[in-house]
Structure 1
Amino acid sequence: MTQQPTPPGAQLNLRGAVDLGALAARSTRREEAARRAAADPGAPAPRSPFVVDVTEETFADVVQRSAEVPVVLDLWAEGYDQGAEALQALADEYAGTFLLGRVDAQAEPQLAQSLVQSLQARAIPLVAAIVKGQPIPLFTGSYPTAEEIRPVLEEVLKVAAANGVTGRVEGAPGEVADEEPAVPPLHAEALAALGEGDYDAAAAAWQKALAGDPRDAAATEGLARVGVLRRVHGVDLATARAAAAAAPDDVAAQLVVADLDLVGGHVEDAFARLLGIVQRTAGEDRDLARTHLLELFTVVGTGDPRVVKARAALTRALF
């Protein structure tokens, strides 16, 4: 069964785009392939930079990335992936006008179940587009030929353009550097300002770095940390907690306490508070809590076990 995407002139029901900064969709399998290639020149080449493996931990990042570049999500399983090569070849042909995210249903059963249920699919493979977080079912049950997929991709790109999503996937799988690179001048400026407690100067330096390179992950992380410190500076903890307790539906008050919990080392409490908002609200309040939570993930570090656990919970809440 094949489903066509939303007509190109239609506007998706979108709620507040999120600035993704330098969120990178790095795949464990790609990294392993790169290491194998370095050790064995005869090993298979690393996957195209326009294709990523999606896990439960990285799914929320991929959804957020759809605010700047269209995402085509391919839910597949071994034995049911005949014809998938056409989709991957088209990802290379289109050279970054969309990102192809592949979900292994056998390796990621919970994520696969959530996708099948949310898209009301009856079989895999399942192919869907995501534009600004909104899913568009494309194909289910089998892979069409490249000639059949191409016009559907063109429709997806038109829908994306109509909603302001015109970014591109850039770069290739990175190589391990032989030496640690020198700290860029703006990074050094930001760190020096932060050491002096000048949050405004630190933020300005990070912003300049991002203006020069929007994919500067270190600058994104630095700006997120400064953002938390600026928000809690001068805030009285007892007063903030009392205000949040008195108004549990006041999202702004809850965000303040989440920041204070994070700075105070109560990371899981901060995440739980924001996840609760995501689960019980909708519209702008939900988007505000989700965006804030992703920023705190950046501050703590994407590899932190507490972030991995909370990110999985966020995925379940969103889908």
Structure 2
Amino acid sequence: MSGAVDLSVLKERAEAQRAQANRPTPPPAAASSSAPGPAGGAAFPAVYDVTEETFETEVVARSSQVLVVVDLWATWCGPCKQLSPTLERMAAESGGTWVLAKVDVDANPRIAQLFGVQSVPTVVAIAGGQPVSAFAGAQPAAQIQGWIDDIMTQHGAAITGVPAAEDGDEAEEPVDPRMAAAEDKLNVGDIDGALADYKAIAAAEPNNVEAASLVRNLTFVARAQAHDPADVADAAPDDLEKQLAAADIELLNQQPEAAFDRIVKVVARTAGDDRSAARARLLELFELFDPAEPFVVAARRKLATALY
């Protein structure tokens, strides 16, 4: 998952849908239980299904009133059959502390794309209209509960009905010495050292979104800086490695459109392993940007055309 997820893509689609008709009726809840609204407000279903059209209303907007946990699953996914019932039971027993929004990724691919989902099950917590934490794979109930408790402690103020700390009562968030040490290395130009530190943090804490994002960005920078521009200046169209290296250099030079177009052309004229490698590299580069960036959206369309 990318570190900075912009939910406006599906919001705009939902608003366009409502411009032509009344607000869609919420989909049937996956479970019959309901959660009381925050501070005695309107009741929400404890568990319910979400589509691309209802995502903005039933997830983004609702997350300003109650913590929304999004379960991204698929019918063919074995671990999903283990995790989903656990999440549904926990949501029903949460007393309205949080609700569970279920997304079938096969029926709603844009939601999966929005979050950069690479495997299912993936679970994302939304508070105050933004994703704040995530995990992938089946987890035991106790670990999930600890994850939710941490989110409520850190992000409860973004949700209406969760009292904010009084002035002077809010404790300053402690600085993680590992992150601080890695940042110090980065500030003095030690990219390799900083990258190694961030990788260690991300490996130890799979839910550390900041560390994972920095790993992606620094991995790209280290790779791009290792290329010799002169060596790829006249790269042959069928030289996969040099074409990918040239794209790295273009992206490092703030030319994402040129970099993406170059790889799309490689995808269009190759097959087999070369095509797979080029496609994988392009998807990797997409993760360095907000998925709503116009040049990312345009490149995804071009990639789809080249593939199909």
Describe how 1:1-150 pairs up with structure 2 within 5 A: 28=10, 41-42=41-42, 44-45=44-45, 53=52, 71-72=74-75, 92-93=84-85, 95=87, 100-101=104-105, 103=107
Judge conservation of contact 2:6–2:292 (CA < 8 Å) in 1.
no
Distance 1:256 1:272 in 2: 13
User: What do residues 176-204 of structure 1 show as CA deviations (whole Å, max 9, x unaligned)?
Assistant: 63499666443333332222221211111
Judge conservation of contact 2:185–2:191 (CA < 8 Å) in 1.
yes
The equivalent of 1:252 in structure 2 is 241
CA, structure 1 residues 308+39, in 2 after alignment: closer, same or farther (shift >3 Å)?
Answer: farther
Distance 1:304 1:314 in 2: 15
Distance 2:39 2:10 in 1: 17
The equivalent of 1:279 in structure 2 is 268
Structure 2 unmatched ranges of 5 or more: 16-25, 27-36, 55-71, 89-101, 111-116, 131-154, 158-169
CA, structure 1 residues 45+181, in 2 after alignment: closer, same or farther (shift >3 Å)?
Answer: farther
Residue from 278, 286, 295 that aligns with 1:289: 278
Judge conservation of contact 1:241–1:257 (CA < 8 Å) in 2.
yes
Distance 1:25 1:100 in 2: 20
Which stretch of structure 1 is more off in the superposition, 250-259 or 176-185? Answer: 176-185
Distance 1:52 1:215 in 2: 25
| 1:200 matched to 2:204 | no
TM-score by length of 2: 0.52
The equivalent of 1:238 in structure 2 is 230
The equivalent of 2:301 in structure 1 is 312
CA, structure 1 residues 47+284, in 2 after alignment: closer, same or farther (shift >3 Å)?
Answer: farther
Identity among equivalent pairs (%): 29
Distance 2:191 2:51 in 1: 36
Q: Secondary structure at the match of 2:105?
A: strand
Q: Secondary structure at the match of 1:302?
A: coil
CA, structure 1 residues 186+285, in 2 after alignment: closer, same or farther (shift >3 Å)?
Answer: farther
Q: Secondary structure at the match of 1:300?
A: coil
The equivalent of 2:254 in structure 1 is 265
CA, structure 1 residues 51+301, in 2 after alignment: closer, same or farther (shift >3 Å)?
Answer: same
Structure 1 unmatched ranges of 5 or more: 1-19, 56-68, 74-88, 109-131, 134-164
Higher relative contact order (CA 8 A, sep 6+): 1
Q: RMSD across aligned C-alpha pairs, in angstroms? A: 4.7
CA, structure 1 residues 279+174, in 2 after alignment: closer, same or farther (shift >3 Å)?
Answer: farther
* Corresponding letter in the other structure for 2:74: V
Judge conservation of contact 1:21–1:214 (CA < 8 Å) in 2.
no
* Corresponding letter in the other structure for 1:71: A
Aligned-pair CA distance for 1:272: 0.6
Distance 1:24 1:101 in 2: 17
TM-score by length of 1: 0.50
Q: For this pair of structures, how many residues does the alignment match?
A: 208
CA, structure 1 residues 104+202, in 2 after alignment: closer, same or farther (shift >3 Å)?
Answer: closer
Aligned-pair CA distance for 1:253: 0.6
| 1:217 matched to 2:209 | yes
CA, structure 1 residues 199+90, in 2 after alignment: closer, same or farther (shift >3 Å)?
Answer: closer
Q: Secondary structure at the match of 2:196?
A: helix
Residue from 98, 110, 123 that aligns with 1:170: 123
